Structure 1
Amino acid sequence: MTRTVYLNGEYLPETEAKVSIFDRAFLMADGVYEVTSVLGGKLIDFEGHAKRLERSLNELDMPKPAAFDDLLEIHRELVRLNGIDEGMIYLQITRGAPGDRDFVFPDPATCEPTLVLFTQNKPGLADNPVAKKGIKVISIEDVRWGRRDIKTTQLLYPSMGKMMAKKAGADDAWMVEDGFVTEGTSNNAYIVKGNKIITRALSNDILHGITRAAVLRFAREAQMEVEERNFSIDEAKEADEAFVTSASTFVMPVVEIDGVALGDGTPGARALRLREIYLDESRKAAV
């Protein structure tokens, strides 16, 4: 079935949606994005994603599209039009196509940002069987640009990292810089020692995950200790368990790092419990 997408004020069949070849996202990766999950036809953590989107735009001096204040309504309409019960909505804002190719940013007053949204239908997203067996990760060097806190469309190296993992017979990769894990290719990374959850502190080095914020809040409420600090791959290999978080995978247990099984090689109790809590609480707060 052809999806209905949103492009610059119009709801269109995906086959009719067109963007200029001079759009700066195409030429310069000059764009930002967000992915919001849908469970039971409702949006998960929408407010957090909207705030982070606004921050990304501000950090890049990118003007908001005219429909910025209508994003919740647009998300809900796409869910309705495409009959999404479980899935995701991808949103992208670019600096637009102000003229010919040029490295210099155009005057914001002359910009007409491009706003694109589309849905991805993912039945069984919450009951993903992968969560019951966990994922395997490898470590790779982190050679991305320094502003990973801005959620830009510059995703070539993360994509390459996922391909490296696939080639190695793993599911994903954790990136390492100066001896310490930064994050996964599309997720935040955690290890567990005893009752303590350890994850890298927020900075320009990692994405300020919306799911991360919620999961850490739920962990503290569940009387789990949280420590935000750097950790190495060697420390991770000796952890009791590990997991990643993202809007599309929620809380996903990690059972192997660089060929070394964690614990007995099955998903850890704390990761599974946090996944359960996150899904329950997120459904209650969904809009």
Structure 2
Amino acid sequence: MTEFVKIVEVGPRDGLQNEKTPLTLADRKNLILDLMQTGLKNIEVGSCVSAKWVPQMADSDVLFASLPQDPNIQFSLLTPNLKGFESALAVGCKEVAVFTAASESFTRKNINCSIDESLEKFSDVMRLAKAHDIQVRGYVSCMVDCPYEGAIDPKQVAKVTQQLLDMGCYEVSLGETIGTATPDRVQKVWEACLAQVDAKVLAGHFHNTYGMAIANIYQSLLQGIRVFDSSIAGLGGCPYAKGASGNVSTEDLYYLLSNMGFETGIQVDALMQASRNISEVLQRNNPSNYANAYWQKACA
């Protein structure tokens, strides 16, 4: 039987929130409608945060409520605090995400509190999520390097990961936030985590600043990781990483996985159309190697 790899599409949230130009609600909805045609089963719709601080994510709850429901697709919302969770709950969201980091400096700069304080803030979210039968996914930034502290101890990453799982997260995605990692360093992080938890509850989230995302995902696959976040057309980036070129593109991830014999459920023609559409809306070049090769071949 072909082994399945779960792809969590984060373009509408992690991608668009880091694009300079905020899209209209209609454009954001069209992106998600396109993604719904691709066979992707997990799509992060947006983030329930203040529009004052993240205008790109304004009215994510309204966007969520406007989407057609498909029993085969799990939509999710990022909810960094109780207020955000209540907004997600009000529109019927059945999966939310919370985030912290393995770096104290990054956590303080990003969400203005310590790691322990960030976890404490999640306690009410976790309690209400359990009461309403809502799944919670955790994010841990800086799995390898921090823009302020440099290298992060893999044991610290494993510790924070374990804490999120103990709180009730069903899955924890480790973010290679600034894209500086290489496979040997990624290997050490997974080794530290896998010494404590099962690979089934871990996911990888890789940025492509130095072109290493696919190599790092390959290393992760070798160690048994079978869930990865990616962003259509490589949308996004990290505001803390100089020259950050965005998340790994869903197109390149698809190419790697499909050619290694993994099943993804993706319909490639629909994926490529979604990729082209959002690139045209944003008037930006698509950094995906596979997407560029695909369209060159199609036009040849």
Normalised-by-shorter TM-score class: under 0.3
The TM-score normalised by the length of structure 1 is: 0.26
Larger Rg: 1
More strand by share: 1
More helix by share: 2
